[in-house]
Amino acid sequence: MTGSAAGGAAAELRGAGLRVTAARVALLETVRNGDHLGVDAIASAVRARLGHVSVQAVYEALHALTKAGLVRRIEPDGSPARYEGRVGDNHHHVVCRSCGALADVDCAVGSAPCLTASQDHGFAIDEAQVIYWGLCPDCSSTGPVAGPVIA
């Protein structure tokens, strides 16, 4: 970790009112440099940088970072929680039903069009979470859908 990267993470933690620790800095940087990581992968990466860190400490730090808005928790149905550093832009996700691969999907049109619910029930809606499900290219056995055969 470079001094400026660690300094940036420390400043973000301070700005969010969180205590700055080596574990929190390493965890924040791991999530931001990762790709929708699960807790085990995050814990392993933090341990590789710092030595012993308990899984409980990782969960507690992730909870604090999520609550502070520094990381985002994603929990697709039937999958363990994953974490990402991309926050505040109302993007969505696509998940492979077979292998669990997960990728970001930007809102397709204008400024967060999915925030206009068909029925808001009086709620002041400020975020939408859309998850698209399907098969990733590696798991798809059918390939592109062919058109009708014309003889």
pLDDT in tens, the chain (151 residues): 444 556 799 999 999 999 999 999 999 999 999 999 999 999 999 999 999 999 999 999 999 999 999 999 999 888 899 999 999 887 889 999 988 899 999 876 545 556 677 788 998 877 777 888 999 999 987 554 333 333 3
Superfamily for 89-151?
A: Ferric-uptake regulator, C-terminal dimerisarion domain (3.30.1490.190)
Distance CA 119, CA 38 (A): 33
The two domains 3-74 and 89-151 share their CATH topology (first three levels equal): no
Of 145, 33, 137, 138, give the one whose Cα is nearest residue 85.
33
| Three-state DSSP state, 63 | helix
pLDDT the model gives residue 150: 38
CATH number for 3-74 (one of 3.40.50.1400, 1.10.10.10, 2.60.40.10, 3.40.190.10): it is: 1.10.10.10
Q: Where are the domains of the chain?
A: 3-74, 89-151
Which two structure tokens, joined as six digits, stand for 113?
Answer: 């069009």
